[in-house]
Amino acid sequence: MLGVNVDGVVFGIRSALPALRRGGGGSIVVTSSLSGLTPYPDDPIYSMTKHAVVGLVRSLAAPCAKDGITVNCVCPGFVSTPLIDEYRSRFEAAGMPLLTAEEVAAAVLAAAGSGRSGEAWVCQPGRPAEPYRFRGVPGPAPVD
């Protein structure tokens, strides 16, 4: 889980940065989860890995800004993909709506096009994506 959820993000960003720097800037958007913003007692290790992604994104904002690069993450809830097929009936029985792939894609585009960096974009069914507000915690420095 660490290899996919944390190392994959770290190595992906590390690989993209040189090309973005050569190109004069750009935008990186990685995937975290709502479990990266709130406790998820059912799977604390998963939650830990997604919190790590949020922390990385927030920490990279300032150093990447000097190169004209924004770094954000999307934090979707449960998405209607084959990954949740085993639990789909539980979601339906509970009346819990699932995100569509299109809603997550729209969140990625919103984060990439925001002109801001170091944000964790909450993505929930039927609602436009928006940056999470870390109450009482300073956010990343604005991008010039």
- Residues of the chain above pLDDT 90, percent: 87
Question: Does some domain include residue 12?
Answer: yes
- Confidence band for 142, pLDDT divided at 50, 70 and 90: low
Residues of the domain holding 127: 2-131
Sign of the C-alpha dihedral, residues 138, 68, 76, 53? negative
- Confidence band for 140, pLDDT divided at 50, 70 and 90: low
**Active-site annotation holds for 46:** yes
Question: Does some domain include residue 22?
Answer: yes
**What tokens were used for 121?**
């974009």
Please check the confidence at residue 141 and state whether its pLDDT lies above 70. no
For 85-105, what is each residue's pLDDT tens digit? 998 999 899 998 999 999 999
Catalytic residue among 40, 46, 87, 132: 46
pLDDT at 42: 92
Question: Does some domain include residue 143?
Answer: no
CA distances from residue 87 to 81, 90, 92, 107, 124 in whole angstroms, order as listed: 11, 5, 9, 24, 18
Sign of the C-alpha dihedral, residues 13, 15, 20, 22? positive
Please check the confidence at residue 83 and state whether its pLDDT lies above 80. yes
Question: Does some domain include residue 34?
Answer: yes
Q: What are phi and psi of 29, to 5 degrees?
A: -130, 120
Question: Does some domain include residue 138?
Answer: no
Domain count, the chain: 1
CATH number at residue 24: 3.40.50.720
The residue assigned the tokens 């660490």 is: 2
